[in-house]
């Protein structure tokens, strides 16, 4: 029986779940990396393989298409993913000999009951080795693992040089997590000692005082010390800035209108536990994650509902209930988080990008009806698309509902962050809010606008 490399088989399975079943890469890896057959070194290898392929998938598929006499669409999905892993190892993995990449790929093809495909895999990858990659000017987008359409939009929005800078910033992904620690100073000291003892590196966040950046993580999030005790919550620093922008007071009534897993509410409560927060989330899977986080973090004062904002608005207005502040982290194109979720870029095009602003304006209009006469509305996205950010806020403020609001100057956030990237944050401020570019600051691309009812 032909032996095969088990970590590579896990990487193949991961790509199948991500690319063929439309799952998020972080969710898939958190699920698969808890496999007890994998060593810590194996987990790092699987992570590198999967994110390497996702980072460069348009380029990798271009290489396979040139090396194969069979169109991609006619290649068996498992075999195609095995080829993708093989090409990435040949092109980008300096420590893996090309011959080994070919041999292991052939063994994987046989392992996936595709014995007849072994010779095909061997032939394609040998062609890749024999024919060095050459890209012309029109194929520059492939160098960054981008589609021509999205790269073209970046050039339109930001210019050629910045388009390259932004696209290149997505390719520097590593196995880091940013967390908000919720325990006491003594608990924090003991926790850091625990995780450094198992080889995890810890350094302070770059923007927010309460944040920590963990590196060289050898296991899944659920297996980290302190996870089940609720000592920390995983969240990017861009998202944490929402709590720095919002001027909240004790006992204010807050609505987290698109709560997701609850991160923004948790950050707010961490700095002001007396807030009265209602969190609503329409997606059943994310809502279940919200409930699990509430239980794990022991934050039971959050009222939560599995509903959408439109339905909730109708019920609340009939009850004449209004909020002091609303957090509206809207569904968006996700172009700010491609570093950690590179699969997002693979399914985006100009047509799909046009769908988001209409959804976002509708949510803003509904949220606007729930704000009391002196209240605030915080709008945020994890994208760098101007049409979903500054342009959308300007458009909303010109609508019937939006004319009752004014954009707040949030330059005071400069006094609430660390000094290292103050200049970059200042450069991102505009009349409509704050835009964060992932190539300027090593955090997710993000946009925040803070609106006050007139």
The CB density around residue 14, as the number of other CB atoms within 10 Å, is 26
How is the chain split into domains, by residue range? 6-134, 177-234, 237-453
Domain 6-134: top CATH class = mainly alpha
- What's this model's pTM, rounded to 2 decimal places? 0.93
**Highest-pLDDT range among 113-122, 223-232, 316-325, 383-392:** 383-392
Q: Which of 167, 134, 127 is nearest to 150 (CA)?
A: 167
Task: State how beta strands 303-305 and 276-280 pair.
Answer: parallel
Residue 1, pLDDT > 60, answer no
> How much of the chain exceeds pLDDT 90, in percent?
83
* 126 secondary structure, DSSP code: H
SS3 243: helix
Over residues 277-297, the pLDDT tens digits come to 999 999 999 999 999 999 999
Mean pLDDT taken over the chain: 93
Residue 164, pLDDT > 60, answer yes
For residues 147 and 58, the answer to whether their CB atoms sit within 8 Å is: yes
Rounded Cα gap, residues 178 and 141, in angstroms:
29
Q: How much is the average pLDDT of 56-75?
A: 95
Query: What is the token pair recorded at 298?
Result: 């022991």
Query: What is the token pair recorded at 48?
Result: 């590198």
pLDDT value of position 219: 74
Query: What is the token pair recorded at 349?
Result: 């095009």
Domain with residues 237-453, CATH architecture: 3-Layer(aba) Sandwich (3.40)
Residue 75, pLDDT > 60, answer yes
pLDDT value of position 221: 82
pLDDT value of position 145: 95
Q: What is the 3-state secondary structure (H, E, C) of 141-169?
A: HHHCCCCHHHHHHHHHHHCHHHHHHHHHH
E strand spans, 269-402: 276-280, 303-305, 323-329, 371-381
Give the Cα-Cα-Cα angle 120, 126, 128 (nearest 5 degrees).
105
Rounded Cα gap, residues 85 and 93, in angstroms:
10
pLDDT value of position 111: 86
Q: How much is the average pLDDT of 60-66?
A: 96
E strand or H helix that includes residue 371: strand 371-381
Confidence class for position 320, pLDDT limits 50, 70, 90: low
Give the Cα-Cα-Cα angle 431, 434, 437 (nearest 5 degrees).
130
Over residues 125-160, the pLDDT tens digits come to 999 999 988 999 899 999 999 999 999 999 999 999
Residue 444, pLDDT > 80, answer yes
For residues 221 and 230, the answer to whether their CB atoms sit within 8 Å is: no
Residue 385, pLDDT > 70, answer yes
Residue 173, pLDDT > 80, answer no
Q: Which of 445, 198, 418 is nearest to 335 (CA)?
A: 445
For residues 213 and 202, the answer to whether their CB atoms sit within 8 Å is: yes
Q: How much is the average pLDDT of 65-74?
A: 93
What is the rounded end-to-end Cα distance, in angstroms, of the chain? Answer: 74
Per CATH, the homologous superfamily of domain 177-234 is Sun protein; domain 3 (3.30.70.1170)
Residue 37, pLDDT > 90, answer yes
Q: How much is the average pLDDT of 444-450?
A: 98
Over residues 174-203, the pLDDT tens digits come to 678 899 998 889 999 999 999 999 999 999
Confidence class for position 435, pLDDT limits 50, 70, 90: very high
């Amino acid at each position: 029986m032909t032996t095969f490399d088990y970590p590579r088989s896990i990487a193949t399975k991961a790509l199948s779940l991500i690319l063929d079943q439309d799952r998020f890469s972080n969710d898939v890896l958190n699920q698969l990396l808890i496999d007890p057959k994998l060593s810590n070194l194996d987990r790092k290898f699987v992570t590198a393989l999967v994110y390497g392929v996702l980072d460069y998938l348009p380029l990798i598929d271009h290489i396979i298409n040139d090396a194969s006499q069979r169109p991609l669409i006619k290649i068996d999905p498992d075999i195609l993913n095995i080829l993708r892993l093989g090409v990435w190892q040949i092109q980008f993995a300096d420590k893996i000999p090309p011959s080994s990449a070919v041999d292991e790929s052939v063994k994987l093809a046989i392992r996936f009951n595709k014995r007849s495909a072994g010779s095909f895999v061997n032939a394609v990858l040998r062609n890749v080795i024999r024919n060095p990659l050459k890209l012309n000017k029109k194929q520059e987008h492939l160098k960054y693992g981008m589609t021509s359409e999205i790269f073209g939009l970046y050039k339109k929005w930001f210019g050629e040089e910045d388009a390259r800078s932004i696209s290149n910033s997505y390719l520097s992904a590593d196995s880091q997590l940013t967390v908000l620690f919720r325990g006491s100073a003594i608990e924090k000291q003991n926790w850091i000692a625990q995780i450094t003892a198992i080889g995890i590196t810890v350094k302070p966040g770059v923007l927010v005082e309460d944040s920590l950046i963990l590196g060289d993580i050898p296991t899944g999030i659920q297996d980290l010390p302190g996870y089940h005790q609720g000592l920390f919550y995983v969240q990017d620093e861009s998202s944490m800035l929402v709590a720095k922008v919002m001027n909240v007071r004790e006992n204010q009534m807050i609505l987290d209108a698109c709560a997701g897993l609850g991160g923004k509410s948790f950050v707010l409560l961490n700095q002001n536990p007396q807030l009265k927060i209602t969190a609503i989330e329409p997606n059943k899977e994310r809502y279940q994650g919200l409930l699990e986080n509430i239980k794990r973090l022991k934050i039971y004062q959050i009222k939560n509902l599995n509903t959408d904002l439109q339905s909730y608005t109708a019920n609340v207005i009939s009850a004449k209930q209004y909020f002091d502040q609303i957090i509206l982290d809207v569904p968006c194109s996700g172009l700010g988080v491609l570093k950690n979720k590179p699969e997002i870029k693979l399914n985006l095009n100009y047509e799909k990008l046009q769908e988001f602003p209409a959804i976002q304006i509708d949510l803003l209009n509904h949220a606007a009806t729930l704000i009391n006469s002196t209240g605030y509305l915080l709008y945020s996205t994890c994208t760098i698309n101007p049409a979903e950010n500054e342009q959308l806020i300007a458009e909303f403020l010109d609508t019937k509902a939006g004319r009752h609001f004014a954009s707040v100057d949030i330059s005071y956030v400069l006094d609430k962050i660390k000094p290292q990237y103050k200049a970059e944050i200042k450069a991102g401020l505009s009349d409509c809010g704050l835009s964060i570019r992932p190539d300027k600051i090593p955090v997710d691309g993000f946009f925040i606008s803070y609106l006050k009812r007139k």
